[in-house]
Amino acid sequence: MNKRPVRVTLARESELVTRGFNALMAPYADRVAVLPAHGGTPAEGVDLTLFDSLADIQVLPGVLGDPVPHDGRLVTWTWNARPDLTEMALGSGACGVLSKALPGEVLVRALEAIHHGRVVVDLGEGHTSPRRQRPDPLTPREADVIAMITSGLDNQSIADTACISINSVKSYIRSAYRKMGVTSRSQAVLWGVRHGYLGPARMRDDSGTLSA
């Protein structure tokens, strides 16, 4: 049975941006269905609503605008893709933060991953943040696993990438979570962003190839 496309809509975007997004997604119509947002009002009955919650924020602390009514999961899709603002977006309920500079294939993979329940951060090329000193540092293997979680990989993809068993992945996650003081994957992503474990998302495509 063929999978249906992920249903996506934009919120409060200009006509120019909307046309650009539609053109970007057109080659992937079998994977992403764009539902029209008339007058900037997001369509109903969708899986993901893309909204630029960071558009007018230049310095921290900043104040996000009014929440946008939406169906499905909320994704921050923005030109203002900066590591220091990512935590704000995720903390306000976004399930992912994606740069508007991402190419179509990368954006589609990220949208599919978010639809399947992952928290994905991809700020595009050149947006990484230096790791800070931590009072209770992770081991190198724990650090690698948390970096991959922050980049949107699921446990099986982490196991395949690191060439370790799925049970080992779970063990590293449990020990890392104790040191980090978190209890959920979304909290781990926030911690990873805050502590510099942020890089372009890497996810498996349908052929099984791991892509940046």
Domain boundaries, the chain: 6-122, 140-211
Distance CA 143, CA 67 (A): 34
Distance CA 62, CA 60 (A): 5
Q: What is the mean pLDDT of residues 31-47?
A: 91
Tokens 């650090």 -> residue: 143
Rounded to 5°, the CA angle 128-131-132 comes to 135
Residue 77: per-residue pLDDT: 92
Residue 6: per-residue pLDDT: 97
pLDDT in tens, 68-119: 777 799 999 988 877 778 878 887 888 889 999 899 999 999 999 899 988 8
This prediction's pTM: 0.68
Is 121 within 8 Å of 12 (Cβ atoms)? no
Residue 201: per-residue pLDDT: 43
Domain 140-211, CATH number (from 1.10.10.10, 2.60.120.560, 3.40.50.1370, 3.40.50.620): 1.10.10.10
Rounded to 5°, the CA angle 206-209-210 comes to 115
List the structure tokens of 93: 């309920």
| Domain 6-122 part of CATH 1.20.1340.10 | no
Work out the mean pLDDT of the chain and round it to a whole number. 80
* Least confident interval from 110-119, 143-152, 175-184: 143-152
Tell whether the model's pLDDT for residue 125 goes beyond 60.
Answer: yes
**Buried b / exposed e along 172-187 (16+ C-beta atoms within 10 A):** bbeebbebbebeebee
